[in-house]
Amino acid sequence: MQSFAYIIASILFIIGLKQLGSAATARRGNMISAVGMLLAVIATLAGSGFSWTWIIAGMLIGGAIGAIAAKKVEMTGMPEMVALFNGSGGIASLFVGWASQQNPGPGGLTTASEIPLFLAVLIGGVTFTGSLVAWAKLSEKIDGKPIQFKGQQIVNIAVLAAILICGVLFVMNSGGTWNPWLLLIVLLSFVFGIMVVIPIGGADMPVVIALLNSYSGLAACAAGFIISNTVLIVSGSLVGASGIILTGIMCKAMNRSLGNVLFSGFGSASSSGGTAVEGEAKPISADDTYYILEAASSVVFVPGYGMAVAQAQHAVKELAAQLEENGTEVSFAIHPVAGRMPGHMNVLLAEADVPYEQLVEPEDVNPNMPATDVAVVIGANDVVNPAARTDEASPLYGMPVINVDQAKTCIVLKRSLRPGYAGVENPLFFCENTRMLLGDAKASVQALVSQFKED
C-alpha cells in the first residue's frame, strides 16, 4: 500500500511540476504537488508505525504555522521566505543524515548508505547557512553588497578540501555515537555555506535563490537514499533538476555564467564601471502623465522591485484596466531577473489578477518597442538599462534588457535617480524621450487612476 501511495505521489509531483511551467496553470500545479507531498508524508508515517493521533496533530500544527506565515508575509518579503524554505529543506536533510548515523539499524551503516549520508549532511549544511545569509542580505539584516577579502578563493578551496578529507575518513570510520569526522563535516559545511554566499551581491539574488533551491532538492535526494525512501528520492531529484534548469535560465537572462555569478562579486551597491552618465533628467507630473497615457494607443508596463516595495501591483492593475477601457492596448513586459527571486514579478501580478495573456517576455516585446506609444517603468532599473546594449565598459554589458528607451515615450516611476541594486548608473533617466515621475509608485499610479475616473 505504501509503495502504491509513493507511485501516486510521484505522478502528482511530475504533473504539478509540469503545470508550474505556465502562469495559467501554476496555482493548480502547486496544489497538485502539495497533495502529492501530503500523501507521501502520510504514507511514510503510517507505514513506519506512527499513531494517527501524532500524524494528525503534526499536520494541524504544521498547517497552522504555514497558514500564519503565509498570511503575515508581505509580497516584498516573498524572496526572504523562499530563502528560509530552502534553508529548512537543507537542515531537515542534514538531520536525517545525522539521525541515520546515530541509529543505523540492525545491519549498521554500509558504504552504500555512508556516501549519501555524507552528501546529505554536506549539501544540507551548505544550503542551510547559505540560505540564512541570502535571507539576511535580502531582508537587509546585513549589507547586500558582496563581502570579499584577499585570498577568499583559496580559503574556500581549503575548506572544501577539508570537507572531502573528513568525508573519506568518515566513510572509513563511520561508527560511534558522536563521530568526530561527521561533526567536522557538519561544522565545515556550515562555514562553506556562508563562504560561498557572502561574496554574491544583491543583484544576483535571483540566481542564488534558484541555486539554493536546487541544493535543497539534492540534499533531500541524498537523504532518500539513506533511508531507502523512493518518493523522497523522486521529489528531491525533481527539485534539484528543476532548480538547476532555473538557475541556467537566470544566468542566460543576465548573459553570464554561473561561475561568474558565484565568484565575480558583481552586484555591489557601490559598484562602478561604465561610461560616466551625463545629462539632465526631465521630471513630469501625474497630470501631464495622464494626458500622455490618455492619448496612447499602446502601453507596455515594465515592473521591477520598486513596484513590490511600494505594493503598487493592485493600483497598476487598476490603471491597466482604465487604459483598456480607453481603448489602449496594454501588456506587461517581465524580465526573468526582475525583483529578488525567480518569478517575483509574475507572483505580484498574479496576486493582482493581471491576466497571464498580458505578460510578455523581453524577446517578444522588444521587436515591437519602437512602435509602442508609452513604456511605463515601475521601479525597474538594471533590466531596462540601455548601457547593457551599447557600453562595453559597463558591468551590465551583454545582459539582455527590455528596450524601453526605444518606445516613443518612456515614463519612469522611481523615488529617486539612484542606481539599482547592481549599483550601475542608468542613462535611461536622461534620454530625450524619458520623463521621470518621481515619488512613491503606488501614490503616483493611484493619482493616474483618479484622473481617468474623473475624466
Q: Which residue, 263, 295, 330, sits at the end of a domain?
A: 263
For residue 306, tell me if it sits in a domain. Answer: yes
For residue 280, tell me if it sits in a domain. Answer: no
For residue 371, tell me if it sits in a domain. Answer: yes
User: Where residue 338 sits, what CATH number does that domain have?
Assistant: 3.40.50.1220
**291 and 256 together in one domain:** no
**86 and 206 together in one domain:** yes
For residue 36, tell me if it sits in a domain. Answer: no
pLDDT digits (tens, 9 = 90+) for 350-382: 888 898 889 999 999 999 999 999 999 998 988
Is pTM, for the whole model, over 0.75? yes
**327 and 429 together in one domain:** yes
Please report the pLDDT score of residue 69 as a whole number. 85
**295 and 254 together in one domain:** no
Q: Catalytic residue among 382, 391, 440, 455, which?
A: 382
For residue 187, tell me if it sits in a domain. Answer: yes
Domain count, the chain: 2
Q: Which of 269-273, 316-320, 393-397 has the lowest mean pLDDT?
A: 269-273
In the predicted structure, residue 27 carries a pLDDT above the cut 90: no
For residue 104, tell me if it sits in a domain. Answer: yes
Cell 523615488 sits at which residue?
Answer: 415
Closest CA to 274 of 390, 358, 164: 390
Structural domain span for residue 385: 286-454
**239 and 335 together in one domain:** no
For residue 228, tell me if it sits in a domain. Answer: yes
Please report the pLDDT score of residue 270 as a whole number. 42
Summary mean pLDDT of the chain: 88
Please report the pLDDT score of residue 168 as a whole number. 93
**248 and 331 together in one domain:** no
Please report the pLDDT score of residue 406 as a whole number. 95
Please report the pLDDT score of residue 277 as a whole number. 65
pLDDT digits (tens, 9 = 90+) for 138-173: 888 887 778 888 888 899 999 999 999 999 999 888
**337 and 436 together in one domain:** yes
- Per the annotation, the verdict on 382 as an active-site residue is yes
For residue 9, tell me if it sits in a domain. Answer: no
Percent of the chain with pLDDT over 90: 54
Please report the pLDDT score of residue 342 as a whole number. 80
Please report the pLDDT score of residue 422 as a whole number. 65
